[in-house]
Each structure stands twice: as structure tokens, then as C-alpha cells.
Amino acid sequence: MRLRYPILWLLLGLFVAASVIVSMPGAGYARQDRDATLAPASASHPAGTDALGRDRLVRVAAAFLLSLAGSVIASALTTVAAAGVGTLAAFGRASMGWSSMVVCDVFLALPWMFLLMMVRSALPLTASPARSATITFLVLAALGWPASARAVYHGALQLKSSDWMLYARAAGLDRAGIVRHVIPSLFHLLVPQFLITIPAFVMAEANLGALGLGVGEPLPSWGGMLFELNNSPMLMQTRWVYFPVALLVVVLLLLEGVAVEA
Amino acid sequence: MLSARRILIVFSALLPIGPATIGAAQAAPRQPGELAWTIGYDPKTFDPAKVDDEESETVRYLTAGVLLRFNRLSQKVEPELAQAWSISPDRKTITFSLRPGLEFSDGSSLTARDVAWSLRRVLSPVTAAPVAEEFVSPAGVTVDAPNDKTVIVHLPQPVIAIEKVFDEIAIEPAGRPSEGRVTSGPFVVADYRRSLYVRLHRNPHFAEKDSSGNPFPYATGVRLDILENTEQEIRLLQRGDYDLIDSLPPDYFELLRKRAPALVRDLGPSLNTEQMWFNQAPSSPLPAWEREWFQSRAFRVAVSQAIHRSDLARIAYLGHATPAYSFISPANTVWYNRSLATPRTGLEAAKTGLAAAGFRLQGTVLTDAAGHPVKFSLLTNTGNAAREKMATLIQQDLAALGMQVTVVTLDFPALIERLMHTQDYEACLLGIENVDPEPNAMMNIWLSSSPNHQWNPSEKSPATPWEAEIDRLMNLQAASAMDSERKQAIDRVQQIVADQQPFIYLVYPNALVAVSPKLLGVQPAVLEPRLTWNIEQLRIQGAR
């Protein structure tokens, strides 16, 4: 990756701007200005306030950071799991390869929305918003690895039958040595998988939040803010209610752009 | 409303209404002199004896002739088909005298025989009429018709406010139940197209007349369009296609107010309440120290004192709610306790009360005497925007006391499972929809032995002296024949509830309606049906 790509610079710029906004003195994503609910844009609230008088800009910035951090960590976990399962399946016994792919298929066939609902309802009621956010992203990671594992498996199988691998095995390279050489050779697969999964997780969290299953109040999330769009009288009161969805589209385009560039 | 005397915990999830679902409104052109408004779904039945849903009840109200009518504005019972009635001193016998010259909509005579047949049909277990249970022991009720004009009802035991039950019983031709096609009320069912509309025509033989001798009803008919889209409904009201909206959510009320302020009316507090409560049930799986907090009067009062009810009304209901301190709304003119003394509100009072009860603020965290941090979850149902907002506002109000509140929204089945079965919850925020001002209808909530005694359901014996006193007072008012004694008992229950705060009442949502200026004769009432309770007097300007 080269930082000279404008997309990456834009994304980094957004990240820095969001970090500055949430760390400014007096900026609290849960702070309610009860005398300024659904206020229009002003010097004190540049993107107005929501129905509870909370600064929309601060909440959008916090949601962006939370979503990005959660999605990057979940995507990293997914990629590590996919690399492990795909490599073991390709270089292990044939039965292991076959059974691993069956497990992948089963995971891909799971009704993940219902699974997430079950997990959410099984959480203790006193689970803090931060904990519920962590669990949401962990569940996304747990459900997101099989597609990547399939891609890694097929890449690893090609490596296994490549000429250099045959030479290496003929020369007596042990299993640990093989893995040491194979993993770097799979980077060209793992990095795009990692980058592609990030916007997918951002979107998944937004969808969950819009269904009321994501991050709990007062922690802001894309989905929670998209939920506001369900109220048509509010749509007619302020156009700033579209701000979160507009930024979400921009962020998703940038993340997709980064993945394509990579 | 399922029944005019029942109290319902609001089970409706109030799903958000999307702007894109445009139904088949205005399926039929309006006929001259016809009134038009909407109902949310198809009535489940047109048989007035089997009504068990709100829209069927709307049709029944418009078509049924009843012996007595409960006036929604004056909140008093008035004669309709009966010109007079009397109740015996032992309150077990009710005698009705019918008006002279009564006829059904097909021109046939209406006599005491028809009345007795209609009452017996409702009381019969074969009919399975929901209203029958309001006689308490319907199997023991007998009905006699000694002559054409007199009907006598014998009850096995006195029933509180028995007169109002007759507001829900339609008098039909003996042996000819017609599902609203032949009635003794202002309208008859003329046409029904599933998912499109119900059309009612004027009953030309309706008994009532105005002071000048003109026959009621004034309107030639009513068309009830089946439409569940508030946005489209208000657009069509603005266009003049509809004449009224009987109930509006606050956000749509505000939207319409901005577009056409002359159309909307805020009638003030409704009978409904929104409240939160803590789980005090000894059988709940909560840690002992949490149960101890929730059973502590000081804890509950401090929570109540710290909640800014005016903010809840202003923000969650856009100003269309009234801060609440009692289970009876000021709209209930007969039973509301106007001299109710409530605990002093404010953060300092709450902190003082908590400190006296052994709670300590350590930094920003409140702890109990044993050092447990005070944190709990507050449940409410998913999809009710006003409740979700109230819960988040309360979360911040209680954070000022050092309490850490987690707001949890659950779908209704999951919520009910926790409230009614597992009792695995700490605090809950819900509403109660009161469709009847009669406090006796709330027995199932206040008696400690009731499964709906939410903070501690189905107690074998009252857990506290004040719950025992509520039991005693509620039973006293149920058995008393004297209105003054009943009022005194209900006033005292309201005071006990205000002192002990087993339910922390938050707001009374206001009754919000919209009326076309062309609709004449409207006298809005808080009780439902708010705009059409005097349907026979309503008419479109210039239509007659």
C-alpha cells in the first residue's frame, strides 16, 4: 500500500478529523442539550442535534471511529482465522481439507441474522454498551471467516502443487518450514481479503443497528443513526438527519476503493 | 380497545410506519352527506356480541343501539333505548323501561322481547361474548321481560358500575342476528370490501331526535377506509378526503400542526399512563442486594425525584404529554385525587434520601452500604420511539445520582417472557392503556394476589403493610355501594402509591386528534371514541 493514493489520504483525514472532534473539550457523544433538541446547524452544533439534543457531528464522528476500529479488528481476526483454517486444510490430510470445507459451507449457510439475535438476547441485560459493541463485532468476525477461508484454501492448494513447493518437499523441508514459506506467499490473497471484509463489517453493523440489534444506547453507531430515518416526520424537520447515511456511503466507497487499489 | 372496561398493558410494538407503503385509500367515492375516516385494519367481526378488537368496536359503536350510553364527555351514563332504569337497593336487580315506538332499521318493532333475547345471547356461553365476563358471573344472570316495555335483569351478586356494561351490548331483533345489517343504532352496515372499506348507511328508524325534532343521525352514512399509514391519512385529511383522525402520534401531530394548524387539537392528558417500576419479586433471580435496593422505599423515591418528567413530556412527546404522579389521570374527572401530595422532586432531595438510606457517592459511582455499585438495566419494548427516548433521558437523569443504567429494548414476546414468567429483569418502562375511567377495572393491577401486580406478582399474602392496605381499600371500593366511600378509598390508594412509588409514574400522553373544519357538531372528548362519541350529531358543512 502506498500512502500517496488519495483515497487512503482521504480516509486517514476523516479518521484524524473524527478523532479531533470526539476529543475536543466539552464534546460528549451522550451529552444531552435538552434545550436544543433537533436544533439546526449552528456554531455550537455544526451538524445540529438529534431528538435528545445530542451533537450530531460528535455522534457521527464517534460512530465512525467505533465502526472502523471494530471492523478492522474483526476483519483482522477473520483473516487470521481464514489463513489458519485454509492453510491447514490445504496442507493437512485430505479428510481434514474436506471436513474443513464442509464446516465452512455450514457456517456460510447459517442464518446469521437469527444467530446474532440469539446472541444478543442471551447477553446479560446489564451488559454495558461497550461490551455489547465488542460482542457484536466478535460475532461478526466469528461468522465472517468461512468465505475468506475458502479463498485461502484454494490459493494454498495451488501453492501446494506448485513447482517450488515440490522442490522444497523433495529437498526435505519439514512442515514448519513449509508453513513459514507458504504464509508470506499467501499475502497477496490475505491482504485483499482483509480489506474487502472491513466495509462488509461496517455495513453489517449498520444493518444490525438499524434493526435495533447492534450497539446499545447511548453509544453511537451508524445503524442507530440510520434508525432515525425510519421516522418520516423527522425527515421533514431537518436535512441533517441524512448526514450519517451520507458519510456512511462516503466511508464505504473509500474503504472499497482502498481494497481495489490494494 | 378490546373492551371498554378492560385495562391493557400496551402490547402493541408500534412499529415504525414507512413512508412508501401507500395503500388503496379512497377506494370508493364519497357519497353526499357521508362522513369518512380510517380504521387501521379489517374488523374481525361485525357481530356486535363477539367484538374483541378495536376496529370491530368502532363499527359496533356506530351501528349498535344500546339501552344506556356512557357519555364520553360528561363521563355519565345516559338513557338511549331505555328511557329510564333503576337499580334495587341490594344492587342485584336492574329494571329498564323502554322508550315508546322503538323500531329496528328494517322497520320492525323493537320490544322487551328483543332486548331480553339480545342480553341472553350475550350471556350465553355458546356465544362466548367477551363482554359477558363483565357481569362477573354471567351464568347466574337471568333476564325477564314481563311486558313489551320492561326488562328486568337479575344479578347473582352486585357488580360495580354495572350500568356501563349495557353501553357495550347491542340490541338486535330476537332470533335474527344480522352482523350489523339490521340495527337499532344510528347506522347499519351496508357494504364491506376486504382491505378497502366498510360503508355504513343511515338508519332511517333511529329513535333519537334533536331538540327541534329533526331525526338523528344527521350524516347520510359513514365510510371507514382501511388504511394503516398515518402520513397518507394526514395528507388525505388535508385534501378534504377524510373528516377526522381520532388519535395521532406526537410526531405526526406536530407535522400536521406545521402544515395546517387549524386541523389539530391537543385535548390534554389522556387516561393512559407511562411508568417505570423495579422488580421486587422475591422469586426473581436477582442478587439479594439488588432486590434490597428495589424493595427500599427511599431508593424508589430517590429515583422518582431525580427524573425530570417535564423533560420527558417535552422531548419524548414533543410537549404533548403531561407529567404524571398517579395512576389516575386528571382527565378522569371523577376519580383523580386533586389533593395528592407527591414527594418533593429534585436532585438534592434525591441525594439526601439516598444518603439517609446508606447509599454513598464514591467519585461518580453510587454504592450501597455494602459497597455494591448501583447499576441496573431498564427494559422497554422495541419500536416505541417515545419510550426509547424516555429511557435514554432517565439514563442521564439517574447518572447524575451516580446510578449506571443500561437501556435494553426487547421485542414484546421476549419482554413479556421476562416480566410474566422468568421475572429476570431489574427495571421496566411500559405504558398502561386505560380505556375505562372506572378504577374498579384496575383491580387486576393493584391486588397483591394478582399476576398483573407487576412489581411483585401473585403474592400469597401482601409483602408489606402498605400493599395490605391497598388490598383492603380496593376490596372496600369494590364492595361499597356508596360513591363517596369508594372515592375516599381510591384517593387513599393514590396517596399510598405516590408515597411508596411501586410504579414510578412518568407522563400521561396527551390525546391528540385532527378534525376537518367542515365537520360540524364535534365535541372532542378524551375518552374513546374521542371525536365520534356523538356520531349522530356530526355532519359535513353544507350537507343538509
What digits encode the pLDDT tens for the residues A22-53?
Answer: 998 878 898 899 998 988 899 889 999 998 99
Residue A221 confidence (pLDDT) above 80: yes
Domains identified in chain B and CATH numbers: 34-243+516-540 (3.40.190.10), 273-510 (3.10.105.10)
Is the CB of B16 inside 8 Å of chain A's CB atoms?
A: yes
Span B282-296, mean pLDDT? 95
Across the interface, whether the CB atoms of B396 and A32 are under 8 A apart is answered yes
Alpha carbon separation from A117 to A225, B13, B16, B385, B419 (Å, rounded): 19, 17, 20, 20, 20
Residue B97 — very low, low, confident or very high, per pLDDT cuts 50/70/90?
A: very high
Distance CA B139, CA B127 (A): 12
SS3 category, B246: coil
Cβ(B331)–Cβ(B511) under 8 Å? Answer: yes
**Digit-coded pLDDT (tens) for A78-94:** 999 999 898 888 888 88
A-chain CB neighbours of B408 within 8 Å are: 125, 216
Instruction: Please tell me the distance in Å from B395's CA to the nearest CA on chain A.
Output: 9
Cα distances (Å, whole numbers) of residue B424 to B285, B376, B377: 6, 12, 11
* DSSP-based helix, strand, coil % in chain B, nearest 5: 30, 25, 45
Q: Which of A174-178, B60-64, B199-203 has the lowest mean pLDDT?
A: A174-178
> Looking at the domain covering A56-261, what would its CATH class be?
mainly alpha
Q: How far apart are CA B97 and CA B48, in angstroms?
A: 22
Residues in Cβ contact with B525 at an 8 Å cutoff, skipping those fewer than 6 apart: B72, B73, B267, B533
**Number of CB pairs, chain A paired with chain B, less than 8 A apart:** 64
Decide if B123 contacts B227 (C-beta within 8 A).
Answer: no
What pLDDT is recorded for position B117?
98
A34: nearest CB among B315, B383, B424: B315
Task: Find the CB nearest B251 among A128, A216, A233.
Answer: A233
CB contact (8 A) between residue A34 and residue B251 = no
Per DSSP bridges, beta strands B404-410 and B375-381 are parallel
- Which residue among A121, A128, A230 sits closest to B414, beta carbon to beta carbon? A121
Residue with cell 428495589: B294
What are the CA-CA distances from residue B480 to residues A217, B91, B158, B353, B474 (Å)?
49, 10, 10, 38, 10
Output b/e per residue, A44-64; b: 16+ Cβ within 10 A: ebebbbbbbbbbbbbbbbbbb
CA distances from B85 to B68, B114, B134, B454, B525 (A): 9, 17, 19, 39, 25
DSSP secondary structure string for all residues of B404-421: EEEEEEE-HHHHHIIIII
pLDDT of residue A257: 86
Annotate A201-247 with DSSP letters as a single string.
Answer: HHHHHHHHHHTT-SSPTTS--HHHHHHGGG-HHHHHH-GGGGHHHHH
Model pLDDT, residue A217: 79
Q: How close, in Å, is residue B377 to chain A by CA atoms?
A: 5
Contact between A34 and A53 (Cβ < 8 Å): yes
**A52 with B379: Cβ contact below 8 A:** no
| CB-closest option in A217, A233, A236 to B392 | A217
3-state secondary structure B272-289: CEEEEEECCCCCCCCCHH
Contact at 8 Å (CB) between A135 and A119?
yes
Interface touch B231/A232, C-beta < 8 Å: yes
For the ranges A100-104, B177-181, B335-339, which has the lowest average pLDDT? A100-104
What would the mean pLDDT of A144-157 be, rounded to a whole number? Answer: 88
* Band of pLDDT at residue B530, cut at 50, 70 and 90: very high
Task: Quote the CA–CA distance of B232 and B513 in Å, as a whole number.
Answer: 15
> Which chain A residue has its CA at the smallest distance from B19's CA?
A232
CA distances from B336 to A39, B290, B333, B476, B483 (A): 37, 33, 6, 18, 14
Is B252's Cβ below 8 Å from some Cβ in A? Answer: yes
CB atoms within 10 A of CB B323: 19
Q: Nearest-CA residue of chain A relative to B20?
A: A232
Q: In which band, very low, low, confident or very high, does the pLDDT at B26 lie, cut at 50, 70 and 90?
A: low
Q: Say what the pLDDT of residue B28 is.
A: 72
How far apart are the C-alpha atoms of B313 and B141, rounded to whole Å? 46
Tell me which of B285-289, B414-418, B513-517 is least confident.
B414-418
Instruction: Choose the closest CB to A126 out of B406, B409, B414.
Output: B406
Question: In whole angstroms, what is the distance from residue B299 CA to residue B402 CA?
Answer: 13
Give the mean model confidence (pLDDT) for residues B279-306: 96
Q: Which residues of A touch B414 (CB under 8 A)?
A: 121
Q: Provide the chain A residues 192-251 that lie in CB contact (below 8 A) with chain B.
A: 212, 216-218, 230-236
For A212, the closest of B18, B382, B389 (CB atoms) is: B382
pLDDT score of A4: 55
Yes or no, beta carbons of A231 and B385 under 8 Å apart: yes
Q: Which of B69-73, B419-423, B488-492 has the lowest mean pLDDT?
A: B419-423
Nearest in space to B3 (alpha carbons), one of B82, B89, B61: B61
* pLDDT reported for residue B7: 38
Rounded CA-CA distance B156/B543 in Å is: 50
Q: Is the pLDDT of residue A231 over 50?
A: yes
Q: A125–B19: do the CB atoms touch at under 8 Å?
A: no
B87 by DSSP, 3-state: which?
strand
ipTM of the assembly? 0.78
Q: Which of residues 39-68 of B touch A (CB under 8 A)?
A: none
Instruction: Locate B457 and state its grid cell.
Output: 406478582
What are the structural domain ranges in chain A? 56-261
Q: Is the pLDDT of residue B319 over 60?
A: yes
The whole-number pLDDT of residue A173 equals: 79
Beta strand spans in B386-535 (E): 404-410, 427-434, 503-515, 519-520
Phi, psi of B199 (to 5 degrees): -115, 130
Contacts of residue B311 in chain A, CB cutoff 8 Å? 34
For B216-244, the pLDDT digits (tens) are 999 999 999 999 889 899 999 999 999 99
